[in-house]
A and B are shown apart, each in its own frame.
Chain A
Amino acid sequence: MSGKNFGFVIKAGRQIDIDVTDSTLADDIALEVGAWRACISCGSCVATCPAGISFRSELPTLNRAFQHNVELPTLKSCFLCGKCQLVCPRGIPTRYLSILIMQKLQSRKNVAEGIPSV
């Protein structure tokens, strides 16, 4: 896009464009843990996390803002203490989800790079 200057621009990287979102990973995860969708974004998990991870924002990220090449680096520092699971008012198995999401991401990465799965 060039030519007209309207005095403002919307940065392409910031806007969530649901039309191009890849929701297959989210659907994949929901097949195993349906309760995951019941998140109400209360933030209990974030407030209690000793590793400073925003687990709360992983749901909307995967559901709406995920694209093939996007990684979720924050989850990498999770050491699976399970405190988030203890405080979740919706009873979501967050600890298991943390492992699951990382596994799924890794296997996608492996497929993309041609590494055979173990």
Chain B
Amino acid sequence: MLTEKKHTEPNQFRIAVIGSGPAGISAAISAAAIGMEVDWYDKESRPGGKLNDYHQLFPDREFADLVLDDFTGKADSIRIKKHFGTTITRIESANGQNVLYSNTEVVGRCDSVIVATGFDFFDARIKEEFGYGIYDHVITSPDLEKILKTGHDQLKKGGIAPESMAFVHCVGSRDQQIGINYCSRLCCITGIKQAIEIRELFPSCKVYNFYIDIRAFGSGYEELYRQAQEKYNIHFIRGRVSEASENQQNRIVVKAEDTLMARPLKVTVDWLVLLVGMVPSCTQVSVNQAQCSDPETGFYQLQNPFAGSGLEKPGIFSAGACGGPMSIPEAAASGRSAAIEAWQYLTSR
């Protein structure tokens, strides 16, 4: 209540942030900016999470490295203690005190926790019909992102630029066959962005995107979609790929239905890129032995979706894509809001 104002100093509170992707970084920066003492954990030895593997970010094509440098620069605060290389597996919460465990070992104690463990990419091998893990020239969108980052010459065959490439949207999204009914939201725009990059790198390469619906929801996304069609001449074909197979020239033959023409369709491509969806991270932490996840999606279940971030126990908040598919700006905003909520919780309890 606003009427009884407590006199609290921020630095009397110790808060743990688990994860160092965009959400974790923002949460740590914001919590430190409020003045709280931050313990920052990540399973990897360096911060950034998946941002480390990205080349350019949609829709404005900023370099991921620069964005990450900007983030981590702001996280250089004496209030933030970094404990990288530590995997937190569970939290025991009692009487407003939280104990963090890495398996059986106690690694920290704190007043509040922000969980920002992110997501994993869908394992495309599960959709066997696309041939990931079977054919060398079937790759996923994170694979392509790494190739673009480390040198696109890997896409050439014998020094020759690829003639054609196809992207399959919704691999591991909106698919009852594999029990994933939700939309991962960001694969569409990833596919659009990567297709544009391919057209820029190899102007003679024809690019086909097989989609169910194009969901270009974010600011600047629709504009990028139109650019992809109009300026870059990327062929968007409405229809789900039924199967991919390899021919004797080691090229991939893709079969689908062109549903707008109501005719079956076949195309041979040099590379097939699967735009994989987002699934809950395998490193999700449990709270008092409970998984706190939504039975439908497996992502963390928020107690009050309108407030944004509260998890099962008071004082434990989630931020970013561990609560569901999210873009980088959304995850960063979610990290900031979780820090504010933690502060409100600590000062009002």
Measuring CB to CB, which residues of chain A are less than 8 angstroms from any residue of chain B?
Answer: 10, 14-19, 27, 30, 34-35, 37-41, 56-57, 60-61, 63-65, 90
Contacts and interface: CB of A to CB of B under 8 A. Distances in A.
Interface string B203-242: 0000010000010000000000010011101010110000
B260 interface: yes
A112 B64 CA distance: 52
A65 B266 CA distance: 11
Contacts of A65: 258, 261, 263
A41 B260 contact: yes
A64 B235 contact: yes
Given A37-B229, A37-B230, A64-B258, A15 B263 contact: yes
Contact of B264 (A10, A19, A39, A40): A10
B266 A14 contact: no
A113 B79 CA distance: 81
Contact of A18 (B214, B233, B260, B267): B267
Interface of B: 208, 214, 226, 229-231, 233, 235, 237-238, 258, 260-261, 263-268
Contacts of A39: 229
Contacts, number: 57
B256 to A, nearest CB: 9
Main secondary structure of the interface of A (DSSP, over half): helix
Given A18-B208, A34-B231, A38-B229, A60 B266 contact: no
Contacts of B226: 38, 90
Nearest to B254: A18
Contacts of A60: 237, 258, 260-261
Question: Chain B CB within 10 Å — which of A10, A16, A18 has the most?
Answer: A18
Nearest to A59: B260
Contacts of A38: 226, 229-230
Nearest to A18: B267
A8 to B, nearest CB: 12
Contacts of A64: 235, 237, 258, 261, 265
A38 B230 CA distance: 5
B235 A30 contact: no
B260 A57 contact: yes
Contacts of B263: 14-16, 65
